[in-house]
Amino acid sequence: MKTFIFIAICFVFFLTTALLQPDPDFEASMERGKEVYVMHCQSCHMANGEGMGTALPPLAKADYMLEDRARAIKETIFGVSGEMVINGKTYNGYMPPININDQETADVLTYVFNSWGNKDKPFTTEEVAKVRADHSN
Ligand code: HEC
């Protein structure tokens, strides 16, 4: 019985430490993504992702962005204009295409989707490449 309890405790211990271990790939992508964000997005969407006024929409807890990953990739690569409703507010602005590669796009969206209260799985370069291919011709 004692051995059983000992083994059970060990098992729970290993399991929790394994689960609480930060994922090094995710951490690295977040780091790189933050740099891309500062360089290519922050001037419009602001450091806290809250946007500005009626022209620059938020990325922080943005229902519109969080509901469609592929659309967010497309808008980041190719830009976007026209009406969009984000958290109940209508925006009708213009975002230019952002000239970054698949790795930078995956990193910056991993950062954006996991900052300021947002939470989602990381973006992969495959996911970005697929959207790029679907929309470029
Ligand atoms: C020159 C300013 C500018 C820059 C730089 C910029 N954006 Fe935008 N972004 C906008 C505007 C304006 C809109 C809204 C367009 C509309 O109303 O149709 C927008 C919309 C978006 C949206 C969809 C709407 C939302 O807020 O949920 C996403 C996602 C987004 N941008 C991500 C990014 C990312 C990621 C970067 C950097 C790689 C970036 N943007 C750089 C101006 C900018």
**Predicted TM-score of the model (pTM):** 0.89
Least-confidence region, from 16-20, 99-103, 106-110:
16-20
Please work out whether the CB of residue 92 comes within 6 Å of at least one atom of ligand 1. Answer: yes
- Cα of 24 vs centre of ligand 1, distance in Å, is 28
Nearest ligand 1 atom, CA 72: 29
86 is written with which tokens? 């984000």
pLDDT per residue over 44-92, tens digit each? 999 999 999 999 999 999 999 999 999 999 999 999 999 999 999 999 9
Strand partners, 92: 83
Q: Whose CA is nearest to atom 33 of ligand 1?
A: 76
Q: Is the pLDDT of residue 12 over 90?
A: no
Nearest ligand 1 atom, CA 57: 26
For the chain, where are the alpha helices, taking DSSP H only? 2-20, 24-40, 42-45, 63-66, 69-78, 102-112, 125-135
Domains and CATH numbers, the chain: 23-135 (1.10.760.10)
Mean pLDDT of 106-124: 98
111, 65, 114: which is closest to 86 by C-alpha?
65
Helix 102-112 vs helix 24-40: crossing angle, to nearest 10: 100
CA 76 from centroid of its chain's CA atoms: 11
End-to-end CA distance of the chain: 68
Q: Which residue has tokens 């790939």? A: 25
> CB–CB of 98/75 below 8 Å?
no
Q: Is the pLDDT of residue 19 over 80?
A: no
